[in-house]
Amino acid sequence: MKIHEYQAKELFRQYGVACPDGYPAFTLPEAMDAARKLPGPIYVVKAQIHAGGRGLGGGVKVCKSLAEVEERSRQILGMQLKTHQTGPDGQKVRRLYIESGVDIRRELYLGMLLDRDRGEIVVMASTEGGMSIEDVAHNTPEKIFKVWIDPRVGVQGFQCRQIAFALGLEGKAVNAFTKLLTSLYRLYIDKDCSLVEVNPLVVTGDNSVVALDGKVNFDDNGLFRQADILALRDLDEEDAREIEASKFDLNYVQLDGNVGCLVNGAGLAMATMDILKHYGSEPANFLDVGGSATAEKVTAAFKIILSDARVHAIFVNIFGGIMKCDTIATGIVTAARDVGLDRPLVVRLEGTNVDLGRQILADSGLPIISGANMKDGAQKAVEAAKKYAASLATVA
């Protein structure tokens, strides 16, 4: 789960991490109230969306007066903000964060996430912070300094100093950084985070160290014990189909291809996406209905796939082990009757109760294309999607 910058900074403050003063605003009058509470004369108006790169996309503006705050807030609130992380449609800005302007001397990068290979938390730091850290990581990876934290002992003072020196910090900034990193690590552990990132972490004119941006992601598996974090969820920022899928405990990820996939097991779901690509299509989604799916769950999954207008064909690829083929077949038939099956459907079933499953599909009278095996099913799905797209083109 992701949260907004202003929510991340609220957590930072609770943990004693220094950040500039600021207030969230949902409307223009609220933005002005927020600005008046700040000392001025420099303010920053920041779009709050769950994507980075806001600065380059025009969603972060430094203002030198209250009048300018008003003008910028009016521009940014409600805009469709496009960044390299939002996709081509951008994301609508519904919230602002009005913050005090900071006298920036240097912009650094600091990030913390799980290194699964080592089973440790890796802290990444760079002197090249700011708006294009992705380029730094790509072009000059040696400029990213890494330290691994053993979760059994937590972050150590010497590790904080190692990073502080690598970042070229001096004087009081070294101790300030040690306190900041120790606090961020505590936040990471306490709140079941999967990522804590501060970009930029700035050194100010008076040699203070301040978090100027904040990105915090959480491990969804820990949310059951993080009620205060779950309360920060902003559904406006999430994909509508993924929200619907999460209600039914389906592992669904929206993609932008044209073949909808309904598969059981994450491994088979990945292999299905690969084989569709191999035969020249792109998957419209990743969907693993799980091993213990009920007919209701399959029905919900099928409806979610059909609600995506970009889907030109559906490929159901099931290997029934724990999951029974008749359950899948019942779900498909129910969903197809409920919403009307208006696009080609290719089904490949194998495993437990496969004959019963095939019988249910055959008795349904639905125009189902049967795949003899995974390869045959994938080829037929790709072909059906192409045909369907062509028929749309003719109608238009």
**Which residues are known to be catalytic?**
109, 197
Total residues contacting Mg ion by CB under 5 A comes to 2
Q: Which stretch binds Mg ion (CB under 5 A): 192-200, 240-248, 325-333, 377-385?
A: 192-200
What does the alpha-carbon distance between residue 34 and residue 36 come to, in Å, rounded to a whole number? 5
Does 199 participate in binding Mg ion (rule CB under 5 A)?
yes
Q: Write out the residues near ligand ADP by the rule CB under 6 A.
A: 20, 44, 46, 52-55, 60, 62, 99, 101-102, 104, 107, 130-131, 199-200, 212-213
3-state secondary structure of 295: helix
Q: Min. distance of Cβ 331 from ligand ADP in angstroms? A: 41
Distance CA 125, CA 143 (A): 8
User: Site map for Mg ion, 209-238, x if CB under 5 A?
Assistant: ----x-------------------------
Phi and psi based region of residue 119 (left: phi greater than 0; alpha: psi -120 to 50; beta: remaining): left
Which of ligand ADP, Mg ion, none binds 44 (CB below 5-8 Å, type-dependent)? ligand ADP
Q: CB of 79: closest distance to Mg ion in angstroms? A: 18
Closer residue to ligand ADP, CB minimum distance, 40 or 101: 101
Q: Which is nearer to Mg ion, 52 or 260 (CB)?
A: 52
Nearest residue (CB) to ligand ADP, 82 versus 297: 82
Q: Where is 9: in which H helix or E strand?
A: helix 5-14
Q: What is the DSSP letter of 141?
A: G
Give me the residues paired with residue 114 across strands. 121
Counted residue by residue, the chain has a size of 396
Minimum distance from residue 199 beta carbon to Mg ion (Å): 4
The reply to whether omega before 41 is within 30° of 0 (cis) is yes
Any idea what DSSP says for residue 256? S
Taking the C-alpha atoms of residue 329 and residue 335, their distance in angstroms, rounded to an integer, is 10
Which one, 214 or 283, has the nearer CB to Mg ion? Answer: 214
Interface of this chain with Mg ion, residues 27 to 56, rule: CB under 5 A: none
Q: Which residue is nearest to Mg ion (CB)?
A: 213
Q: What tokens does 1 get?
A: 């789960």
- DSSP assignment string, 204-240: ETTS-EEE---EEEE-GGGGGG-HHHHTT--GGGS-H
Task: Read off the tokens for 46.
Answer: 């920041």
Angle between helices 266-278 and 374-395 (to 10 degrees): 60
Q: Which is nearer to ligand ADP, 215 or 297 (CB)?
A: 215
Which residue number, 107 or 288, has a Cβ lying nearer to ligand ADP? Answer: 107
Q: C-beta of 258: minimal distance to Mg ion in Å?
A: 34
Q: Does residue 264 touch Mg ion according to CB under 5 A?
A: no
Q: Beta strand pairing status for 345-351 and 313-320?
A: parallel
To ligand ADP, the closest distance from the beta carbon of 231 in angstroms equals 23
Give the one entry of ligand ADP, Mg ion, none that residue 24 binds, where binding means its C-beta sits below a cut-off of 5 to 8 angstroms depending on kind.
Answer: none
Q: Can you spell out the DSSP letters for 41-61?
A: S-EEEEEE-S-S-TTTTT-EE
Instruction: Annotate 199-225 with b (16+ C-beta within 10 A) or e (fewer).
Output: bbbbbbeeeebbbbbbbbbbeeeeeee
CB of 101 to Mg ion, least distance (A): 15
Positions touching Mg ion (CB under 5 A) are 199, 213
